[in-house]
Amino acid sequence: MKPIYILNGPNLNLLGLREPAVYGPETIGDLEMRCAAKAKALGQQVVFRQTNTEGELIGWIHEAQSKASGIIINGAAYTHTSVALHDALKAVNIPTIEVHLSNVYAREPFRHHSYISPVAHGVICGFGGQSYELALDGIVQILKTSGKG
Ligand code: DQA
């Protein structure tokens, strides 16, 4: 069975230090462990990555086309700016779920638009680290329904 790729964008390496009132106390390492534990409980493999570079994120999305069963992506700030991320996700034909730790719709207006949402199966935001676990539940359901899980 192919793994689910969990891809994280810029500044998420600073979780724990960065605006803890918004993003919570968990570090990116804590988040990775949380995802690994949830994946194990679901009988799935995950590949968890973070980058501060748009091109690297796009390379990983291309790689996911042949190597992953699905993508969970927190594009972070690139969510709101990147047509290239939109195009890359549109180009690969595997289930994708957009996640955010914070409720982006309760924040500044520039966070209300996402280039990822129109090319994602669904969006989960506002549950802190649990957003990722909910996304794993959701993507596994999609994979099972499509006979690929
Ligand atoms: C974020 C929300 C984005 O607006 C922001 O740029 C981030 C993190 C979140 O997980 O809540 O870096 O994606």
What's the pTM value of the predicted model, to 2 decimals?
0.97
Superfamily name with CATH number, domain 4-145: Dehydroquinase, class II (3.40.50.9100)
Task: Using CA atoms of 133, 136, 137, 139 in order, give the dihedral in degrees to the nearest 10.
Answer: 150
Phi, psi (degrees; rounded to nearest 5) at 70: -165, 170
Residue 83 to residue 101: CA distance in whole angstroms: 22
Type of residue at 27 = T
Longest dimension (CA), the chain: 41
Encode pLDDT of 28-57 as tens digits. 999 999 999 999 999 999 999 999 999 999
pLDDT at 27: 97
Residue 35 to residue 48: CA distance in whole angstroms: 8
Ligand 1 site: residues with CB under 6 angstroms?
11, 74, 76-77, 79, 100-102, 104, 111
Taking the domains of the chain in order of start, what are their residue ranges? Answer: 4-145
CA-80 nearest atom, ligand 1: 4
State in Å: Cα 44 to ligand 1 middle: 26
